[in-house]
Chains A and B, each alone.
Chain A
Amino acid sequence: MKGTKQFRRWLTLLLWIVILAAIIAAPFVLPVFRLNLLGRYLSLAIVALGVDLIWGYTGLLSLGQGIFFALGGYCAAMYLQLNSASELPNGIPEFFGLYGVKNLPFFWEPFNSPLFTTIAIWLLPGVVAAMLGFLVFRNRIKGVYFSILTQAALLVFFNFFNGQQKLINGTNGLKTDVTQLFGQMVGSPSMQRCFFWLTALLVILAWLFSRWIVRDRFGHVLVGIRDDEPRLRFTGYNPTLFKTIIFAIAGGLAGISGALYTVQSGIVSPQFMTVPFSIEMVIWVAVGGRGTLLGAIIGAVFINYAKSLVSEALPASWMFIQGGLFILVVTALPEGVLGWLQSEGPRNLLSRLGIARPISTYPSLEIDGKKEINL
């Protein structure tokens, strides 16, 4: 027993070293274009972690994570735009000139501060999520109603950002690749390399954070909400509070993810808040394995990479493949790839690698013989 435990510890350590080495080495090995793609997909893994927390663990299928993703992106982009606008006439970002806006709208002001921006990137989406969640959960709206309402909320935000040229450049979005940060251009290869490392680091931190949330009683309460909410209520827990908190956390993660994605893709626009994109996030988690945090990360990176490869080769076929994936994963593979691996044959190997949580199964033999209650 002790031997295998020690072996596992070594293996875990080895795995970490390999991962860290890969992260550090990637920018020097991969071409700039591929590195940029990988960085973007890694940042999407963070929003996928959030989706996994609320859907995989808590059973709330949000189709509106794009709101929080985009909000994070806008926060980052607003700071970057302001940061590089000082030498421009009026001292405000260029696009305002197109619409004859002379003064910076009031809500832009705080984004002059890097500290405020760093906090707003996760706090603002988190707070919006908390408010939205509280309104919905308070009325015990759940299941598909929750999904529909989050989708409607997504549409509200999309229309708002899309329609407000004078405030936020409307449908054109905010560009970040030609903006300045620390005196360097955000789109430059060296900055992109830093962003890649930052993303990788934040993915690991977000994973550790999510693991901390789900591994003990808080996580068990979430599972309880998913499986039997009334039971939990009669046990003395307030599901509304827990749901609001976890929805806010998922929103915050989405915000961070959106900010990282924005700086690596060079633009944030209302396209981040379209309906398909938010549902896509769910399929990453579903394919990877809902209720397994690593599944969410692997699913996000893998599906997006597959998407870019397929789209390069056969542009028309990706929609078919994606549609098929939705149907397949729901009907044939409800636990996702990782969940399937956990419950099937290769489980032992994986749990030894520390990826999967070993699941105890029910042995058919009666191990404690005669049933009795010890008074």
Chain B
Amino acid sequence: MTLPLLELRHVSVSFDGFYALTDLNLNLELGELRAVIGPNGAGKTTFLDVITGKVKPTRGDVIFKGNSLLGLREHRIARLGIGRKFQSPRVFENLNVYENLALAVSQPKKPWQLLIGGLNGFQRDRIDHLLNIVNLHSRSGFLAGSLSHGQKQWLEIAMLVGQDPDLLLVDEPVAGLTDEETELTADLLKSLAGDHTVLVIDHDMEFIRRLDSPVTVLHQGNVLCEGAMESIQKDPRVIEVYLGRPEEESL
């Protein structure tokens, strides 16, 4: 059996005595596409915060490629190969699309290297390629702040891919997108899996179904169950969690 790419071991997070995550265990295999769902307050965002180093777990350990991530600062974790897309699209609005991507693909991300010399040919090709993937080629000179909501989402995904991470953490990538855009985003994420390991968090069941991947259900800071979408939907516990507060699925 190969080592999992990412492993959460007994992770608990407490905010002033309130437990956002309780004894969470989760493994991600190399190249896997995984969807994580759960009602509001299930700890989905905290879960990403723990992996990316924004929140320190009160207990437990996070292992990435065999090494613990505990105590590392965010940018270190990012450089180890974990990329994160935020819930609402966050791009650098006062830079143009090309500059946004240039920041993402730059290697190494040290001050001196950024000051002297520009991007190398390989990196420029990469940006071209990414612009093509998300269809922003014609917008490359535009300020990111002037893009539409969907375009910002895609730009952020492109930036994420541009970082060339082993693990992509994608938080609600289709919030506020049209149905058509949602489908395209699902296809994009599916195509990324394999080369990368992708973890997607979302509320949108249609979108999750389209990802056609194993699903993990979080509830009250813990894994409720795991499995394929069909079996999840039949699981009485999941139904109870969701039907207990049916309005949340539509959010």
The residues of A with any CB-CB pair to B shorter than 8 Å are 212-213, 216-218, 220-221, 223-224, 226-228, 230-239, 241-242, 245, 359-362, 367-368, 371-375
| A220 contacts B132, C-beta separation under 8 Å | no
B146 contacts A362, CB within 8 Å? yes
Do residues B104 and A218 form an inter-chain contact, with CB atoms below 8 A? Answer: no
Chain B residues with Cβ below 8 Å from A228 are 90, 92
Contacts A236-B109, A360-B141, A374-B135 hold; do A216 and B146 have CB atoms under 8 A apart? no
Closest 7 CB pairs of A and B: A362-B146, A236-B78, A233-B74, A218-B114, A217-B114, A373-B184, A238-B75
On whether the beta carbons of A360 and B132 are closer than 8 Å, the reply is no
Query: What are 17 inter-chain pairs, A to B, with CB distance below 8 A?
Result: A220-B95, A220-B99, A220-B102, A224-B92, A230-B90, A232-B92, A234-B74, A234-B86, A236-B75, A236-B109, A236-B163, A237-B75, A239-B75, A241-B111, A245-B111, A362-B143, A373-B185
In the complex, besides A236-B78, A360-B142, 10 extra interface pairs with C-beta distance below 8 angstroms are A217-B102, A217-B119, A220-B95, A223-B95, A231-B90, A232-B92, A242-B111, A368-B139, A373-B184, A374-B135
- Contact A373-B92, Cβ < 8 Å, known A213-B115, A231-B86, A234-B83: no
Q: Which residues of A contact B84 (CB under 8 A)?
A: 234
Nearest B residue to A233, CB-CB: B74
- Residue of A359, A361, A368, A373 touching B133 (CB-CB under 8 A): A373
Chain B nearest CB, measured from A99 CB (Å): 45
Residue in contact with B188 in the complex, picked from A234, A359, A373, CB distance below 8 Å: A373
Q: Are A227 and B180 in contact (CB under 8 A)?
A: no
A362-B103 Cα distance, complex, nearest whole Å: 22
B115 and A234 within 8 A (CB): no
B94 contacts partner chain A, Cβ-Cβ < 8 Å? yes
B96: Cβ under 8 A from any A Cβ: yes
B187 within 8 A of A: yes
Assuming the A-B contacts A235-B104, A236-B79, A368-B138, are A227 and B93 also in contact, with contact meaning beta carbons closer than 8 angstroms in the complex? yes
Contacts of A217 in B (CB 8 A): 99, 102-103, 106, 114, 118-119
Q: Interface of B with A (CB < 8 Å)? A: 52, 54, 73-75, 78-79, 83-84, 86, 90-96, 99, 102-104, 106, 109, 111, 114-115, 118-119, 132-135, 138-139, 141-143, 146-147, 150, 154, 159, 163, 180-181, 184-185, 187-188, 191
Inter-chain CA distance A367–B143, complex, in Å, is 15
CB-nearest residue of chain A relative to B165?
Answer: A236
With the chains together, A39 CA to B149 CA distance in Å? 50
Whether A360 pairs with B135 at a CB distance below 8 angstroms is: no
Complex Cα–Cα for A236 and B154 (A): 19
Rounded to whole Å, the gap between the CB of A247 and the closest CB of chain B is 13
Are A227 and B92 in contact, CB atoms less than 8 angstroms apart?
yes
Least CB distance from A335 to B in Å reads: 12
Closest Cβ of chain B: how far from A134's Cβ, in Å? Answer: 14
Q: Are B163 and A235 in contact (CB under 8 A)?
A: yes
